[in-house]
Amino acid sequence: MGAVLLDTVEAVRAFIARERRSGSVGFVPTMGALHAGHARLIEHARRECALVVVSIFVNPLQFDRADDLREYPRTLDADRAFCDELRVDCVFAPDVTEVYPVPPQCTVEVARLADHLCGRTRKDHFRAVATIVLKLLQIIQPQRAYFGEKDAQQLAIVRRLVSDFSVPVTVVEVPTAREADGLALSSRNRLLSADDRRLATALYSALREADRQIRIGVTDTDRIKQAALARVSIHPALRLEYLEIVDPDEMQPVATVAGPVRVAAALWVGRVRLIDNLLSIPGQAESE
């Protein structure tokens, strides 16, 4: 039997109450257009939980551009088949009016964690992300929720959200899934042209160079960033939005590397914005 597809809060709550086994519910929140990165999240949940729920909801509040929201891939039939293959128990795919029957007046403010990286140029993005994550956690009430390391700033905010609001859920971090050439898997990758797809590898190349500098003992972040930026070719289709070295917990920029840091970047490739990051530990040999 395939995954049950439900589109109302009442229905998904009733399903979970009826099917919950051993009190173990794993939840994977997504915006659809599922790929191998999502598969890794789901597989983790399937190994650890008796009941696995995947949500598919393109949250309009977290888009700062109307064209980005309009063009975001929506592939519900393929996503449901994808979930069937991975033995998901339930796909929760509500309409916008089900999630927001009226425009929300109560939202989750995110302070310091959202000051830099993506939060610098996407002013209300993380408020919207935190709001929908809290709402979905309230609806599903899982014991474990799975998030990808690729969205490191989001992950840090979700962890703080769960702590600040005493949400009874364990947040599970899953390593980034990558293509053979290193490009992080993303639903937006399918929007890249063939030429832009080749250019997109510059993002991972820059992060790898920053990581290499840190591992060999370079501590000055300006020097590290200069070396990394040299890996991004001057090309009309490429525009680097940021490349920063931050504390991995608070997401604050550091001037000197004195311990583990996260190197994070956002790169525009044509009209597509891609993000990626690496956790870098001084003196640690690079993993194979």
Task: Establish whether 116 is a catalytic residue.
Answer: no
Within 13 A of 186's CA, how many CA atoms are on the CB side? 20
- Do residues 228 and 243 make contact, with C-beta atoms less than 8 angstroms apart? yes
Element (H, E) at 79: helix 76-85
C-alpha to C-alpha distance for 163 and 160, rounded to whole angstroms: 5
Say which of 35, 38, 44, 235 is annotated catalytic. Answer: 38
- Do residues 191 and 272 make contact, with C-beta atoms less than 8 angstroms apart? yes
C-alpha to C-alpha distance for 203 and 274, rounded to whole angstroms: 8
C-alpha to C-alpha distance for 103 and 105, rounded to whole angstroms: 7
- CB proximity list for 247: less than 8 A, separation 6 or greater: 254, 261, 262
Encoded tokens for 107: 């939202």
- Do residues 130 and 110 make contact, with C-beta atoms less than 8 angstroms apart? yes
C-alpha to C-alpha distance for 227 and 213, rounded to whole angstroms: 8
C-alpha to C-alpha distance for 47 and 16, rounded to whole angstroms: 18
Which of 128, 124, 63 has the alpha carbon at shortest distance from 99? 128
Beta bridge pairs of residue 277: 264
Within 13 A of 227's CA, how many CA atoms are on the CB side? 18
- Do residues 18 and 6 make contact, with C-beta atoms less than 8 angstroms apart? no
Q: Which residues are catalytic?
A: 38
